[in-house]
A and B are shown apart, each in its own frame.
Chain A
Amino acid sequence: MSEPLLEVRDLKVRFPTADGIVKAVDGISFSIQPGETLGVVGESGSGKSVTFLAVMGLLDLKAAHVEGQIMFKGRDLLAMGPREMSQIRGMKISMIFQDPLTSLHPFYRVGQQIVEAIRVHREISKRDAWRQAVEMLGRVGIPKPEERARQFPHEFSGGMRQRAMIAMALSLNPDLLIADEPTTALDVTVQAQILDLIGRLKDEFGASVAVITHDLGVVAEHADDVMVMYAGKVAEYGRRDDIYYRAHHPYTWGLLESITRIDQPKTERLRPIPGQPPSLIFVPSGCPFHPRCRHVMDVCKTEIPPLLSEDGRHSSACHLSLREKERIFAEEVAARA
């Protein structure tokens, strides 16, 4: 395996608050290979967005304590000064966000906003930057890009705005594109288009992608690796097929079962995961998922399950034995999903 583009080692992000310390990210490690796509899946508050805000250097360091290493092309982003970091941010690593309706500045023309992104990092004339911005808008599938570039964000539909965000993010040909819930705020019909667009442009630009989502269905098609997060920890991590066809963690099973399938006859109701995501201040003892787990054992309540791998690739943090995991998956999960 080649040198990973991004390698995060034992990342911890803590927010001290009046009520206690919020352990938003509690010691996670993962890596992204050049040209590959990582899907990061978890509920709200599982720490998935915070992890990548840390990668972007967008966390307010007055409010957050960040520990660990974020190695990008062999250099630790956490050890960089703000000036050096802003060279990488937007240029080498760029990010698109959940809500395209509010992510573009309402007072500036869409073209201008892309021009600004280009000219922060590249010394080219406004005219050339504008030409480039128009070209990018065309490449993300916006019709009549010359005209559209002169419009304001409110004149764009939601899907078009997300396309414009993608155009902006890719305008400097970054090595890594982080997409934080890129389709959550969009119409279902537009979601697939945006995901396909990201998948296609990734290959065209030769970039790696991290897609953050709460919906396993979103990353089913495009991800190479999938990381499932729960309560700031990695619950399960592996190649896509490991997660979809050989999942080992009860939380992943829950996520798989709650994917809506419309291509199969409606035989059973969706089975939601019971309970609420845990507080990140008073994390449950032992396995953080144990209060909601259908297969909970005594050991789960006292001991934190380590993230263990059976084959060096596919790992999960669960006290169940491998045989049990395989049996339950085959009998309960695969039969339904």
Chain B
Amino acid sequence: MTQYIIRRLMWVVLVLLMITLIAYVIFFVMPPVDPARAFAGKRPTPELIETLRHQFGLDQPFYVQYGRFVQRLFLGDEYGWPGFGFSYATRSPVREELFQRAVITIQLGAGAAVVWLLVGIPIGIVSGIKRGTLVDRAAMGFALFGVSAPVFWLGLMFLFIFWQKLGIAAGTGYVALSENPVEWFGHMIMPWIVLALLFAAFYARMVRGSLIETMGQDYIRTARAKGLSERRVVVKHGLRASLTPIVTLFGIDFGTLLGGAIITETVFNMPGLGTYVVQSVFRGDLPATMGVVVLGALAVTVMSLVVDIVYAYLDPRVRYT
């Protein structure tokens, strides 16, 4: 198992390198803006631009720049480890801002995950057991709504109804937990729900399908033939098998979210990784963009490793060597 994890961690590093390289190539093949020119302000002298280019390292060939980026990432830079360099746009270290924003995105993602699991899984279970009934139809109607409602529309509708019209929810923006826990919760609850709704709907459908499939298995018939109560058949035999695949799904979804929930963050004006990466791309701020890319890729690859390890504990048929 240890060997397996070490091998997988090496893969994580490799995947990170591949992804960052591709991100670099994209940046250089079609640069949206010249960062030096953008930074130099209005009417810069050619000398100033040249100096800035040199400072940013933009006068170096592409592979040297990428090499430096990798070196900073693994060995750290003057701002700490891992090094992400400084932002072309703000001239402040990327690392600090990145981590501040990551904390916000993690709060958003983790809260939403709790909501969608608490909503999606029970709905899926109930509608899977009561297949074809009114309850099932209502639940699947909700799921269809959740899957098809665009997040930006949903976010705006929530803001309009609960903030502007009813005045029962706090508006956009972010308040740190340490600053004011009540305000923090008030500002987080709507983004959580909006972000969770799509996932909840999707998970409800997945759980329903998985449970229905499981309940048709031979071993469920065996469990019934033993004389177990239907409740025990569903809970101990049905759910155990049908929720296991949901673990995989959840790991990957959660990992992806940690790279930034762009639309939700934008609608609710939350300074997370999603808004950061959008800003950075528009400003041609390569180090900041790369910072988010690294964090996002890391979250997905590490989560998929975690999922695989958890799965080996849940499903005895799976063993890694």
Contacts and interface: CB of A to CB of B under 8 A. Distances in A.
B63 to A, nearest CB: 50
Interface in B221-239: 221-230, 237
Nearest to B317: A154
Nearest to B222: A103
Interface in A65-110: 82, 86-91, 94-95, 97, 99, 102-107
Nearest to B316: A152
Given A152-B316, A154-B316, A154-B317, A103 B219 contact: yes
B225 A107 contact: no
A86 B224 CA distance: 9
A120 interface: yes
A16 to B, nearest CB: 14
A96 to B, nearest CB: 8
Tell me which of B218, B240, B241 has the highest count of chain A C-beta atoms within 10 A of its own C-beta.
B218
Contacts of B228: 86, 90, 116, 120
B175 interface: no
A99 B36 CA distance: 70
B241 A106 contact: yes
A97 B222 CA distance: 8
B226 A102 contact: no
B96 interface: no
Contact of B227 (A89, A99, A102, A154): A89
A152 B313 CA distance: 13
Contact of B219 (A58, A91, A106): A106
Contacts of A105: 219, 222-223, 237, 240-241
Q: Categorize the interface residue count of chain B.
A: 20 to 34
Tell me which of A95, A103, A168 has the highest count of chain B C-beta atoms within 10 A of its own C-beta.
A103
A97 B221 contact: yes
A117 interface: yes
Contacts of B151: none
B174 to A, nearest CB: 42
Interface in B286-319: 314-317
A155 to B, nearest CB: 9
A87 B244 CA distance: 31
Nearest to B241: A107
Given A102-B218, A103-B218, A105-B241, A58 B224 contact: yes
Nearest to B224: A58
A168 B227 CA distance: 12
Contacts of B315: 106-107
A154 B228 CA distance: 23
B227 A91 contact: yes
Interface in B206-228: 217-219, 221-228
A166 interface: no
Q: Categorize the interface residue count of chain A.
A: 20 to 34
A116 to B, nearest CB: 7
Contacts of A121: 227
A221 to B, nearest CB: 26
* Secondary structure dominating the interface of B: helix
A94 B314 CA distance: 29
A120 B223 CA distance: 11
B317 A152 contact: yes
Contacts of B219: 102-106
A168 B226 contact: yes
A257 B221 CA distance: 34
Contacts of A104: 219, 222
A107 B316 contact: yes
A90 B227 contact: yes
A91 B228 CA distance: 11
A168 B317 CA distance: 21
Given A97-B218, A107-B315, A107-B316, A58 B225 contact: yes
A165 interface: yes
Contacts of A88: 227
A235 B46 CA distance: 101
A95 B223 CA distance: 11
A165 B221 CA distance: 12
A210 interface: no
A86 B217 CA distance: 20
Tell me which of B221, B222, B230, B314 has the highest count of chain A C-beta atoms within 10 A of its own C-beta.
B222
A107 B240 contact: yes
Contacts of A58: 221, 224-225
A86 B227 contact: yes
A167 interface: no
A56 interface: yes
Interface in B80-103: none
Given A97-B221, A97-B222, A165-B222, A107 B227 contact: no
Contacts of B316: 106-107, 152, 154
Contacts of B222: 97, 103-105, 165, 168
A39 B219 CA distance: 24
A82 B276 CA distance: 60
Interface in A134-159: 152, 154
Interface in A36-81: 56, 58
Contacts of B218: 97, 99, 102-103
Given A90-B227, A116-B226, 12 more contacts: A58-B221, A89-B225, A89-B227, A90-B225, A97-B222, A103-B218, A105-B241, A106-B315, A107-B244, A117-B226, A152-B316, A168-B226
The 6 closest A-B pairs by CB, nearest first: A90-B227, A102-B218, A90-B226, A105-B219, A89-B227, A117-B226
21 contacts: A58-B221, A82-B230, A86-B229, A87-B227, A89-B227, A90-B226, A90-B227, A91-B227, A95-B225, A97-B218, A103-B219, A104-B219, A105-B223, A105-B237, A105-B241, A106-B241, A106-B315, A106-B316, A116-B228, A120-B228, A121-B227
